[in-house]
Structure 1
Amino acid sequence: MHREHLIDTAPGVRLWVEERGDADAPALLLVMGAQASGLGWPDALVDALAAHHRVIRYDHRDTGRSTWSYETKPYAITDLADDALAVLDRLGVERAHVVGMSLGGMLAQLLIADHPERLHTATLIGTCALSTTPYTRPDGTVVPVEELPPIDPRILAMWADRPADLDPDAELDWRVEHWRLLNNGGVPFDAEAAREAERRLIAHTGHARVSTAHGQADHSGMLRTEALAATAVPTLVVSATAEPVFPPPHAQHLAQVIRGAELVEIPGMGHALPAPVLEPLAKAILGHTGG
């Protein structure tokens, strides 16, 4: 079953939400990354998960069909975690499996730390730890958090030099090249599939504007070092071997700082969800959730 809603999560904030799967199945909440609509979760992955779960995905504020309000009413990143919890509240979900990617993985960590009673499990993809605990390499050497690898400079340059007021074709060209870099060569890149996904997203949103709200929003107050080290929420960390935004060993570090976390490697995966990684990713998530 496929159900769509517009849900009020805060004063003046309304989010587009979609549900798939049996309404009586265990709920699974998908939380996307910065500037990313819920449509960033490919239908093939959503449907694979929906065979076993009531899958919920949604558009963050300032993405897709949700309220675009940052310019007139700024908010903090922690407010986006409150939105995720409010989606569950409005849908009557007491506890859910939560899967977060990139910024969504950070929001999932906030839920692990602050609302563990609302989570059955958590799965974290393409993200970094909200912790000051250093990383210990297999050889025993210790690496401070600030010395972990940075974002690929090619991606930083592309973000910094993004042209304004691109015509529709040039906008799609820019987005496809962006996905090429995020894919990072670990698996074959399908440019036409990326272009079609972006056409669909633009149609869903109703325009081709891209908000910078999540980059501008207040990122303070997000560290959860002690809570993550003490959590009882079963957590799976996905290690993407070609990840360019949070390169290895960020995933290994994340698995160290979250108590009891398990690590699963998806060879060739970058900071994207192309077709070749969807089957192993769905298998890993469902293995963790018991689906």
Structure 2
Amino acid sequence: MHREHFVDVAPGVRLWAEERGDADAPALLLIMGGQASGLGWPDELVDALAAHHRVIRYDHRDTGRSTWSYETEPYAITDLADDALAVLDGLGVERAHVVGMSLGGMLTQLLLADHPERLRTATLIGTCALSTTPYTRPDGSVTPVEELPPIDPRILDMWAHRPEDLDPEAELDWRVAHWRLLNGDGIPFDEEAVRELERRIVAHTGHARVSTAHGRADHSGMLRTEALAATGVPTLVVSATAEPVFPPPHAQHLAQVIRGAELVEVPGMGHALPRPVLEPLAKAILAHTGTA
């Protein structure tokens, strides 16, 4: 059963949210990446999780059906973590399992560090550590955080040269090309499925415009080195072997800096959620939430 809501998270700011699954089941909050609607979580994955959880996904500010407010009321990335808590508050959820991808993984780390009492478990996908602790390789050598592998330069080039004022079809073409790179080289790219999902997101949003708010928002004050090293929240880190945004060993580093974190590998996965990764990903998340 689908239940849609609008949740007031700040003066003049409302976020669209959707619930699936038994309302009495343990809540599981999905936090998507930057500039991404909650519909970026594929229905197939949401439904698999909803067989055991009250699954909540939502649109960040300046995405989907939520308030687009950055141009008149700029905010910081840390405010987006507060939004996640406000969604839980608005839906009457005291504690939740939280799954975050990309920027959503960073927001989940902020929740881990600042509001551990609100999390049953955390799962982090396609993200980097909010920590200055260096990475210790299996051979004992140490790599400073700033020397971990960078984003694929082809993706950086796309971000730096994004055309403006594209017509709707050209906008879809750009998004598909972008997802082709994010998909990585480990799994065949399903252009038709990606284009259809983006059409759904455009219909959900009501227009094909894209905000750059999350890239321009204040990113300061996000390091949580000591708090992550001391957390008691059970945490799962997903290692995507073909990840182009935070390539290996970013996931391995993330699992090192969070106290007690476990690491699970999804072979062939990149910085996207194509159908072949959904079953192993759902199994890993459910196995993790089932231990709490």
TM-score w.r.t. the length of structure 2 is 0.99
Q: Higher mean Cα deviation, 160-169 or 61-70?
A: 160-169
Match of 2:201 in 1: 201
Residue 164 of structure 1 deviates from its aligned partner by: 1.0
Match of 2:266 in 1: 266
Establish whether residue 22 from structure 1 lines up as the match of residue 22 from structure 2. Answer: yes
Q: Could you list the runs of 4 or more consecutive aligned residues of structure 1 that deviate by over 6 angstroms after TM superposition?
A: none
- Pairing 1:170-249 to 2, within 5 Å after superposition: 170-249=170-249
- Pairing 1:106-117 to 2, within 5 Å after superposition: 106-117=106-117
Establish whether residue 168 from structure 1 lines up as the match of residue 168 from structure 2. Answer: yes
- Pairing 1:36-185 to 2, within 5 Å after superposition: 36-185=36-185
Write the deviation string for residues 174-220 of structure 1: whole angstroms up to 9, x where unpaired: 11110000001211110010000000000000000000000000000
- Distance in 1 (CA, whole Å) between partners of 2:73 and 2:169 is 32
Q: Which AA in structure 2 matches 1:126?
A: G
- Distance in 2 (CA, whole Å) between partners of 1:43 and 1:93 is 22
- Distance in 2 (CA, whole Å) between partners of 1:265 and 1:203 is 34
* Percent identity (aligned): 89
- Distance in 1 (CA, whole Å) between partners of 2:165 and 2:71 is 18
- Distance in 2 (CA, whole Å) between partners of 1:223 and 1:245 is 19
SS at match of 1:72: coil
SS at match of 1:173: helix
Residue 171 of structure 1 deviates from its aligned partner by: 1.1
- Pairing 1:1-20 to 2, within 5 Å after superposition: 1-20=1-20
Q: Which AA in structure 2 matches 1:177?
A: A
- Distance in 1 (CA, whole Å) between partners of 2:68 and 2:168 is 21
Residue 79 of structure 1 deviates from its aligned partner by: 0.2
Q: What are structure 2's unaligned runs of at least 5 residues?
A: none
- Distance in 2 (CA, whole Å) between partners of 1:17 and 1:168 is 25
- Distance in 1 (CA, whole Å) between partners of 2:18 and 2:281 is 21
- Distance in 2 (CA, whole Å) between partners of 1:33 and 1:183 is 14
- Distance in 2 (CA, whole Å) between partners of 1:53 and 1:280 is 17
Q: Which AA in structure 2 matches 1:205?
A: T
Residue 41 of structure 1 deviates from its aligned partner by: 0.1
SS at match of 2:36: coil
TM-score w.r.t. the length of structure 1 is 0.99
- Distance in 2 (CA, whole Å) between partners of 1:122 and 1:244 is 22
Q: Which AA in structure 2 matches 1:290?
A: G
